[in-house]
Amino acid sequence: MAKYGEGDKRWIVEERPDGANVHNWHWAETDCLPWSKMFFTKSLSDLTILDGQGNLRIKTKKVEKVDGEAYVNIRKGKVIPGYEISLSVSWEGEAKDGEGKTLLKAEGNLEIPYISDENADEDPEVKVTVKDEGPIGKALKEAMLAKGKPLVLEKVRDFVQAMAKGGPVKDELEAKKSAPKTNTTTSNSNSAAVSKEKVGVEKEPKKEVEKEGKKGFKTITMSEKFNCRAKDMYEILMDENRWKGFTQSNARISKEVGGQFSIFDGSVTGINLELQEGKLIAQRWRFGSWPDGIDSTVRLVFNEPEPGVTIIKLTHLDVPEEDRYGNATVVENTERGWRDLIFNKIRAVFGFGI
């Protein structure tokens, strides 16, 4: 499991406490170790195991440590948890005789050395120790194993389920998903009211909505230079196996006009509009996080001013300013995606840097 904060930053949307995947170029990653410490501290501290049964009283004291890595990745609306943690819990017990006199008070430790997302469907190993290894101390230890272990494992399963739902970003994710529905409902209600009141002038409101919608789109332009022939760059951008190689993600690309393509594990889909080998790629692009019905147009013009030097001029038209969740960083992340995840990756992988 990759450690939090040590992955390829070009795939990470940093400083996003809402955990939302603001654009399908990136993973949205949230550090969940502090939240994990709070979760286990709350659920495993001062937990009663036995309260007089068999003349034994046992309870946990506090969570001594929670170490390791824990994070949640969000991509395409999917929660992908990752964690490798260990924890240690102190406990105390008391044994009494039949008359209620204390025979022994003892302290011990409960340790779970490895809780991992890779073994989420299995209960982890639980170790119990006691400081007094005499006969009564061992009886307390066995009672802690028999009665305490199942309770602790139940709390671990609660943690696994909570992480699967998003951990600390669960509420924010649900809020993001519900926000567009509320806006849509309000918008539809307002439109219906206008239609009822102004049936005779139905065309005018439609034109106004159309004009307002165009204000929410931007155009991205870039010019990039590569140390290669134009036909080589064209082939790389139109070959699905090479896409898989430099992006480390799945791709399906048709080389025919009118053919469809899917890149970045399906995050981006579209259609080839115009293709001129070594000269032009024109495509319709759509990101899965965009509002329904919105497409953009990509034009890549290849110029080779001298043999072995290629200049690509990118024009990306009609990029929406907000995604379906209301995140207003779409244009910024799309531009970063072109630069860092496509152009710079091609330079690094194929040695076309200048």
DSSP string for 56-121: EEEEEEEEEEEEEEEEEEEETTEEEEEEEEEEEEEEEEEEE-TTS-EEEEEEEEEEEEEEEGGGTT
pLDDT in the model for residue 277: 94
User: What is the average pLDDT value for the chain, to the nearest integer?
Assistant: 82
Residue 344: pLDDT over 80: yes
Q: At what angle do helices 203-214 and 170-197 cross, to 10 degrees?
A: 150
- Domains of the chain, residue spans: 26-173, 215-348
Q: What is the dihedral of CA 153, 157, 159, 160, to 10 degrees?
A: 130
Cα 28–Cα 29–Cα 30 angle in degrees, nearest 5: 130
Contact 48, 88 (CB under 8 A): no
Worst-scoring range by mean pLDDT, 26-30, 152-156, 159-163, 242-246? 26-30
**Closest C-alpha among 70, 127, 131 to residue 105:** 131
Is residue 303 very low, low, confident or very high in pLDDT (cuts 50, 70, 90)? very high
**Closest C-alpha among 14, 72, 29, 18 to residue 333:** 14
- Kindly state the average pLDDT of the residues 37-43: 95
| Alpha-carbon separation of residue 327 from 74, 185, 291, 330 (angstroms) | 14, 19, 11, 7
**Closest C-alpha among 112, 104, 69 to residue 88:** 112
Is residue 313 very low, low, confident or very high in pLDDT (cuts 50, 70, 90)? very high
In one-letter notation, the amino acid at residue 340 is: D
Same topology for domains 26-173 and 215-348, yes or no?
no
Q: How far is it, in rounded angstroms, from Cα 44 to Cα 114?
A: 16
Q: What is the pLDDT of residues 150-167, one digit of tens each?
A: 999 999 999 999 998 888
349 three-state secondary structure: helix
Q: How far is it, in rounded angstroms, from Cα 88 to Cα 151?
A: 15
**Closest C-alpha among 179, 217, 169, 186 to residue 317:** 217
Q: How far is it, in rounded angstroms, from Cα 352 to Cα 242?
A: 14
The fourth-level CATH superfamily of domain 26-173 is Activator of Hsp90 ATPase Aha1, N-terminal domain (3.15.10.20)
Residue 332: pLDDT over 60: yes
The CATH number of the structural domain formed by 215-348 is 3.30.530.20
Residue 171: pLDDT over 80: no
- Kindly state the average pLDDT of the residues 238-246: 92
Contact 299, 280 (CB under 8 A): yes
pTM assigned to the model: 0.47
Contact 123, 153 (CB under 8 A): yes
